[in-house]
Structure formats: structure tokens, C-alpha cells
């Protein structure tokens, strides 16, 4: 697919072609930036090849628009930051999902731009190549992260909800929750290590670390509302904590759904129902225990 010069198309097609051209040069710059972050190897080479093909697509559109465009610097920077924080697997698959949506526009342009079919075919090849190349370490330990996250959500949500009614003081609740959370983090991480070790896994330590980190991060987020609100605003802290639980579950499941190509809705509803259900039951238990024991703190 070589460079085409001064092709004439309708004004409507020209507007769409400019959008596509801008997208292609931005994609090119993004792939190059992510590839530059990697060590030499298979992943780096494939990303560089895809970047080169995106540049070819840009040149095709340039032949119709006869305009030179620069990459959207902010978008490239943001995607590079996402790759650093969330991993290149998530970032690239998110980009590919956007490209799949854009293919509908390619189909509409096909009558005036014959190269559209070739571009679509090459975009499909990109997706398949990416799926085969993505072997990011953090995604190999998704099971461990799910274990730590889910266990922390269920246990600590229930604990904090029960303590809220029993103690009714955000500072004491936060202290109790923090002690419980740290102890549970160490317990969960060591249990994961022993479990993986007994199964003969060589990466038992890494598995336990990912589990522990997921648990501890969740603990910090859930306890934060009790540290931010005054001691007597325990119900506000509880509501904020429950909202935080839903946000964490939504964010994590969205990440997994994109990076691992799994359904979002079912996993999200399942985790949310379990965590909030346990919180509701613990809340009732805390009220019953408080009244039964006659404890007033």
C-alpha cells in the first residue's frame, strides 16, 4: 500500500478521512512510544512493525486529504502513562477496541477509497498479532490479585460495617479495621504462598506478593473514609466506604474485561452482590451485638 497523491473525494468523505488520518498518526506515535519502553524482544519488534503499518495508513489518507498532521501529543502521553501504570496489555487492547469501532467508518468510505478494505484487513491482523504477543507478567497473576481483592472486599467490608454500628466512632473503627486489615493481609499472603508451594509452583513468592498487594491496597481505600470524616460522622463514612467498594469492583472488573477479554457485567454484579450482601448482614449483626451486650462506646 504505497502513498497516494491528490485523490479526489466528496466533502463528507474528506471530513471522515481527516479523522482517520489523525487517528492513524496518533496510533503510530503511541505504538512507537510504548515499544520504546520495552526491552529488545518479540513484543518490541511486533509493536514497531504495527507502528510502521499505522504510518502507512496515515500516508494513504494523506494522499486523499493532501494535509500533514501531527500526533495528538496529550493522547500519546496519556496512553504511555496508562501503559506504565496499568500495563501495555490493557492500554493496547483498549486502543484496538477503539480501532474496531472505527472500522465501521472505513466501510462507509470504501466506495470512494478502495484502500479501505486493505486497511481493515491489516487492522484485523494487528489485533491477532497483539493477542498472540501479549505476555505481560502482571496478567499471569490475575488469579492471585482477584483472590486478594475479593477476600479483602468481603472480609473488610463486613468487618467495617459491623464495627460502624457497634462502635460508632470513625477513629476507633479505622484503628480496628487497620489492625484487622494488616493482619489479614499477612495471613492471606502467607496462605497463598504455602498453597502455591504445595502445588509445586516455582513462582509461589510472586503469587503471594500480588495477593498481598491487592489485599493491602483494598484495605487502605476502604479505611480511608473513616479517617477523613469526623468521629461522630460514622454513617457518612459507612456510605462512602460502600460507594468505594462498588467503584473498586467496577474499576477492577473493567480492567480485567479489557485485558483478558472476559465479560464485565456478570463478574461485576457477582462481586458487588457478595460484598454488599456481607456488609448488610454484618451491619445487622453489629446492631444486634451492641443491643444484646449493652455496650456503648
Q: Is residue 4 scored above 60 in pLDDT?
A: no
Residues 6 or more apart from 145 whose CB is under 8 A from it?
A: 138, 210, 211, 213, 214, 252
Question: Residue 207 CB: number of other CB atoms within 10 A?
Answer: 24
Residue 191 CB-density burial (10 A; 0-12 exposed, 13-18 middle, 19+ buried):
middle
Q: What is the per-residue pLDDT across 48-68, written as a single tens digit (0 to 9) for each? A: 888 888 898 898 888 888 889
Which pLDDT band, with edges at 50, 70 and 90, does 37 fall under?
confident
Q: What is the per-residue pLDDT across 234-264, written as a single tens digit (0 to 9) for each? A: 889 989 988 998 888 888 888 888 877 778 8
Q: In this predicted structure, what is the pLDDT of residue 143?
A: 65
Q: Is residue 216 scored above 70 in pLDDT?
A: yes
Residue reference for cell 448488610:
280
130 compared with 28, residue with greater pLDDT: 28
Q: Is residue 288 scored above 80 in pLDDT?
A: no
Quick check: 48 and 95 in contact, CB under 8 A? no
Residue 65 CA to residue 67 CA, distance in Å, equals: 5
Residue 63 CA to residue 17 CA, distance in Å, equals: 10
Kindly report whether the global pTM for this prediction surpasses the value 0.75: no
Q: What is the per-residue pLDDT across 75-127, written as a single tens digit (0 to 9) for each? A: 999 999 988 888 888 888 888 777 665 566 566 677 777 777 777 777 777 66
Which pLDDT band, with edges at 50, 70 and 90, does 206 fall under?
confident
Which pLDDT band, with edges at 50, 70 and 90, does 297 fall under?
low
Residue 256 CA to residue 124 CA, distance in Å, equals: 22
| Least confident window among 19-23, 130-134, 235-239, 279-283 | 130-134
Amino acid at each position: 500500500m504505497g502513498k497516494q497523491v491528490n485523490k479526489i473525494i466528496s466533502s463528507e468523505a474528506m471530513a471522515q478521512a481527516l479523522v482517520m488520518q489523525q487517528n492513524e498518526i496518533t496510533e503510530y506515535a503511541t505504538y512507537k512510544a510504548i515499544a520504546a519502553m520495552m526491552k529488545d524482544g518479540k513484543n518490541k519488534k511486533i509493536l514497531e512493525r504495527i507502528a510502521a503499518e499505522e504510518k502507512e495508513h496515515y500516508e494513504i489518507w494523506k494522499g486523499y486529504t493532501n494535509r500533514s498532521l501531527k500526533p495528538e501529543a496529550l493522547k500519546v502521553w496519556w496512553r504511555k502513562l496508562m501503559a506504565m501504570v496499568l500495563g501495555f496489555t490493557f492500554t493496547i487492547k483498549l486502543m484496538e477496541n477503539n480501532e474496531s469501532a472505527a472500522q465501521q467508518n472505513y466501510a462507509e468510505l470504501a466506495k470512494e477509497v478502495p484502500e479501505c478494505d486493505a486497511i481493515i484487513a491489516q487492522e484485523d491482523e494487528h489485533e491477532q498479532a497483539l493477542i498472540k504477543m501479549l505476555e505481560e507478567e502482571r496478567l499471569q497473576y490475575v488469579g492471585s490479585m482477584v483472590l486478594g481483592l475479593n477476600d479483602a472486599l468481603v472480609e473488610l467490608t463486613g468487618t467495617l460495617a459491623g464495627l460502624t454500628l457497634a462502635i460508632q466512632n470513625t477513629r476507633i473503627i479505622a484503628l480496628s479495621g487497620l489492625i484487622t486489615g494488616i493482619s489479614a493481609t499477612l495471613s492471606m499472603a502467607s496462605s497463598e504462598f504455602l498453597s502455591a508451594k504445595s502445588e509445586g509452583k516455582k513462582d509461589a513468592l510472586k503469587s503471594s506478593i500480588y495477593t498481598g498487594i491487592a489485599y493491602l491496597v483494598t484495605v487502605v481505600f476502604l479505611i480511608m473514609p473513616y479517617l477523613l470524616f469526623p468521629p461522630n460522622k460514622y454513617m457518612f463514612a459507612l456510605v462512602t466506604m460502600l460507594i468505594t467498594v462498588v467503584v473498586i469492583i467496577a474499576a477492577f472488573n473493567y480492567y480485567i474485561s479489557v485485558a483478558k477479554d472476559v465479560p464485565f457485567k456478570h463478574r461485576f454484579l457477582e462481586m458487588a452482590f457478595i460484598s454488599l450482601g456481607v456488609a448488610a448482614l454484618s451491619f445487622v449483626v453489629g446492631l444486634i451485638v451492641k443491643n444484646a451486650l449493652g455496650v456503648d462506646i
